[in-house]
Amino acid sequence: MTRADQKKLEDIADGLMDSFPVFFRRVTRGATHPSARKFDPSRIALKAVLMHGPLRMSMIGRHIGISKPYMTALVDNLISEGLVERVQDPDDRRAVIVRATDAGKEEMKEFTKSARQAVIKNLSSLDSNDISALHEMVLNIKDVISKLDKEEASKRRTKKGA
């Protein structure tokens, strides 16, 4: 395997963790981190908090496609594990935001490392053409998601101003 293929596999691993939870579950078989061996929505919620900064639960839910009532259970689980905390929103004293703790940051670091290694291992038997195709697809999907997020944010701003 070439270094270029290795780099593409790393990009694919990162993209899969963000874009393909079901596919991710299948390609992470053999991961060493307990949460990386199963699809754990609480870890996806933790990743959203780390990627986007402290967020209200409704925003976490928007990022990962989970309803607010279910988000409450996920966040309660993360709080009980010491991975996130609820704090008062500095911009709105009536609201609460969720932010990652140092333990949550370390947990996600280990989770990502283990999952990435398993993805690379499980996809390394693919030939260069398949690796290149997957790499291009992940980049395209990330681009589309970014565009859709911007469009959704614009619609929300327009709706608030109406």
Q: Domain with 13 in it: what CATH number?
A: 1.10.10.10
Which of 6-15, 28-37, 47-56 ranks highest by mean pLDDT?
Answer: 47-56
Residue span of the structural domain in which 142 resides = 3-161
Four-residue CA torsion sign, 68, 29, 110, 32: positive
| DSSP run (H or E) holding 76 | helix 68-80
Give the integer Cα–Cα distance in Å for 41 and 71.
9
Look-up of token digits 């327009």: 158
pTM of full prediction above 0.85: no
Tell the burial category of 102 from Cβ atoms under 10 Å away from its Cβ (0-12, 13-18, 19+).
exposed
When computed from its CA atoms, the radius of gyration of the chain, rounded to whole angstroms, is 17
Tell the burial category of 13 from Cβ atoms under 10 Å away from its Cβ (0-12, 13-18, 19+).
buried
Q: Which residue has the higher pLDDT, 18 or 74?
A: 74
Tell me how many domains the chain contains.
Answer: 1
Q: Mean pLDDT over residues 6-33, rounded? A: 73
The Cβ of residue 119 has, within 10 Å, a number of other Cβ atoms equal to 25
Q: Mean pLDDT over residues 55-64, rounded? A: 87
* pLDDT (0 to 100) of residue 113: 87
Q: Residues of the chain with pLDDT > 90: what percent?
A: 31
Q: Mean pLDDT over residues 106-131, rounded? A: 90
- Do 31 and 115 meet the contact criterion of CB atoms below 8 Å apart? yes
Give the integer Cα–Cα distance in Å for 116 and 16.
9
Look-up of token digits 């990330």: 142
* pLDDT (0 to 100) of residue 3: 92
pLDDT at 63 over 80: yes
- Token readout for 110 is 């280990």
pLDDT digits (tens, 9 = 90+) for 76-91: 999 999 999 999 998 8
| DSSP run (H or E) holding 130 | helix 128-161
Average pLDDT, the chain: 85
- Do 68 and 58 meet the contact criterion of CB atoms below 8 Å apart? yes
Under DSSP, the state recorded for 83 is: S
